[in-house]
Amino acid sequence: MRQDDYTAQVALVLPESGTVAWDSPSNIALVKYWGKKPVQLPANASISFTLKNCYTATKLSFSKAEKRSVKVFVNGKEQSSFLKKIEIFFKRIEDYCPYVKNYAFKIETENTFPHSSGIASSASGFSALALCVLSIERKAAELSDDDFYKKASFLSRLGSGSACRSVYGPMGVWGEHANYEGSSNDFAIAYDDIHEVFKNYQDTILLVDKGEKKVSSTLGHDLMNDHPFAVNRFEEARNHMIDLQKILKDGNILDFNRLVEKEALTLHAMMMTSDPYFMLFKPNTLNIIHKVWEKRESEGIPFTITLDAGANVHLLYPAEYKQVALDFIKNDLIAYCQNEQYICDEVGNGPLLKMEHYA
């Protein structure tokens, strides 16, 4: 990577103050990223559906200052617990956005999904923040739309790896892969060479466990470094990227189901065979998976499941099965959801600029 490609020119005349706001969505990986090299570079390429309803709305107010200061408000309340992670992010992006050293920032943020629902807010949260920061630069620098989103994805990655895919809808690909033209370890690219059926694919997220994760993603990624199955896993992911490309184009849902479930279970198998091993499944994660498989077998409905690094189950299905899915959830699955909670989402088109004001 050439640092120059991503570095703002020092001579930029940046706004004195202003406010920018972006809504940026979460995403759910189909081929998973698990294992990384410093700094935030993936061990294998990954691909995700960008979601529509689960997003972070972030408003960034800024004014020039001698040195950086940051205040964070979540749902209107000042929250200092996020400051550490945000400061790491700002430190990491300083090389590419030197101007972040000289602003007083106020970050006001909220998620559309319930707080601590177990849905990772890092992808939506960091991509929203990266888009806000880069909007300041775009006010002063000539940045084409392509370059804007590319650099926003690059910056998002430095906050949380999977965040770089959230910058694009309907799908994002992150990580160099010979079959995906323009793919890179540094940033994600948009991916839309997909059959109609996938353009509004449904994702109903069954909230099994809303507690804090016992093992962070960061630690989980690190455990892949000495993992006995790592080499095979990375090779498998590489091959899955090839297979999925054809499946997405052809709209082959049966093959889609097999590949996506294999990916999800392999991700968790890697966790269960790490040293130290750990398990994020809860009993109700398995109860839901078995119910979904029974339903699929007995009625031939093309439901499939995937998971991220947590106990919640994402139920994926074509839009035409929405009512069937909702009835199935109400009758058979809701008993396994914490406080009967689930979130209806679907494939979306990526982030939205909500406000831009400069002085």
Which spans of this chain sit near ligand PMV (rule: CB under 6 A)? Answer: 29, 32-34, 46, 120, 122, 160-162, 217, 267, 308-309
Minimum distance of ligand PMV from residue 59's CB (angstroms): 23
Minimum distance of ligand PMV from residue 150's CB (angstroms): 18
> Whose Cβ is closer to ligand PMV: residue 134's or residue 309's?
309
Q: How far is CA 227 from the centre of its chain?
A: 24
Helix, strand, coil % over all residues of the chain, rounded to 5: 45, 25, 30
* Among 126, 128, 137, CA closest to 18: 137
> Whose Cβ is closer to ligand PMV: residue 308's or residue 346's?
308
Residue type for position 253: I
Minimum distance of ligand PMV from residue 307's CB (angstroms): 8
> Whose Cβ is closer to ligand PMV: residue 43's or residue 134's?
43
Judge whether 267 and 221 are in contact, CB under 8 Å: no
φ, ψ for residue 193 (rounded to 5)? -80, 65
Judge whether 261 and 304 are in contact, CB under 8 Å: yes
The answer to whether the bond into 276 is cis (omega within 30° of 0) is: yes
Cα separation of 45 and 184, whole Å?
A: 9
What the block records as the tokens of 48 is 């995700």
Minimum distance of ligand PMV from residue 119's CB (angstroms): 10
Pairing relationship of beta strands 17-31 and 313-317 according to DSSP bridges:
unpaired
Task: Specify the 3-state DSSP secondary structure of 358.
Answer: strand
Residue type for position 202: Q
> Whose Cβ is closer to ligand PMV: residue 139's or residue 238's?
238
Please tell me the total number of residues recorded for the chain in this structure: 359
Minimum distance of ligand PMV from residue 159's CB (angstroms): 9
Minimum distance of ligand PMV from residue 4's CB (angstroms): 26
Minimum distance of ligand PMV from residue 160's CB (angstroms): 4
> Whose Cβ is closer to ligand PMV: residue 61's or residue 204's?
204
> Whose Cβ is closer to ligand PMV: residue 160's or residue 204's?
160
State which H helix or E strand residue 221 sits in: helix 217-223
> Whose Cβ is closer to ligand PMV: residue 118's or residue 161's?
161
